[in-house]
Amino acid sequence: MILQDGQQIIKTRDDPKPVVLDRLDAPKDPYKPYKANVTCSWAKEGEAFGPEKLRPRIEPWLTALVQSEHLSLLVGSGLPQAVHQLAVDKLVPWMGTINIKTFKYEIETEANRSAKAAGRDTANFEDQLRVVNELLRGLEIIASTKTEDAPERKQIEGLRQELTEALRSFAASILKAERNLASAPDEKRENAFNYLVSFLMSFASRSGTRDRLHLFTTNYDRYIEAGADVAGLRMIDRFVGTLAPVFRASRLDVDLHYNPPRNPGRAPLPRRCCAFHKAPRVD
């Protein structure tokens, strides 16, 4: 299901299928910002409502969910978008599509084809990067048997330079979003971090007898890490070291346990601690 701008989706308790909520433009009544697109047990189709209907459905379900034995949370780009907008009243300056001049038509055609195969209408920045990397590798194979002044070698050099510049611009856009949050007015920044910390701790506050929260994200920004620092939440990301962190696949010397005084044979997990998994985005 592809959501339109301003739509939200909810499915809790006795909902037989997901309920799509349409955002209403009601500045005079900000507490009734949504209407359901179908009739369900708790709302009528087209009826405006707000937190008074959503909170009783979400909170009990979420409370029971976060106390399950094993809990994994996938965080997408909506989290930094929301935090950034709370702090600076505008959306994150995401990187748009890039303009690659070398093999432009071929790259755009293949990127759009792969995007449609994945269920999206048009290609995005990551589709283009994937195609450029694949094309670079193919050109390198072809050029390996060519002379030093072969046109394929010049194409490789030009394409690699454009790719490097695109990645540099992309990194700059991420740093700009993080800088905007850090330099926001004190009151708005504090409010944004309060929401971020509340979100993280609502999932991470689990009993020490249960498996800790596993937090997954493909986001490039470091909003989650910043929120964890503010909350005093320790993230175990398998990196060991401070000045030059090294990734360790083993949990040896990375994970944390403690021995309760009356039961030395049992080693439950400490609270305020979660496993953090951050990986490059894969379509």
pLDDT tens string for the chain (283 positions)? 667 777 888 888 888 888 888 887 755 555 567 888 877 888 888 888 888 888 888 888 888 888 888 889 999 888 999 999 999 998 887 767 888 899 999 999 999 999 999 888 889 888 999 999 999 999 999 999 888 888 889 999 999 999 999 999 989 999 999 999 999 999 999 999 999 999 998 888 887 778 888 899 988 899 999 999 999 888 888 888 878 888 877 766 666 655 556 665 555 666 667 888 886 554 4
Taking alpha carbons only, the member of 191, 237, 232 closest to residue 214 is: 237
pLDDT of res. 266: 57
pLDDT of res. 226: 93
User: Do 208 and 269 touch, CB atoms closer than 8 A?
Assistant: yes
pLDDT of res. 133: 94
Taking alpha carbons only, the member of 264, 252, 270 closest to residue 212 is: 270
Q: Please give the angle made by the CA atoms of 182, 30 and 59, to the nearest 5 degrees.
A: 75
CA–CA distance, 33 with 25 (Å, rounded to integer): 7
Q: What is the spatial order of strands in the sheet that 213-217 belongs to?
A: 72-75, 213-217, 273-278, 234-236
Q: Which residues contact 245 (CB under 8 A, 6 or more apart)?
A: 239
pTM (predicted TM-score): 0.74
CA–CA distance, 119 with 22 (Å, rounded to integer): 22
Classify residue 19 by burial, with Cβ atoms within 10 Å: 0-12, 13-18, 19+: buried
> Which residue stretches of 183-213 are H helix?
186-204
pLDDT of res. 23: 80
pLDDT of res. 46: 81
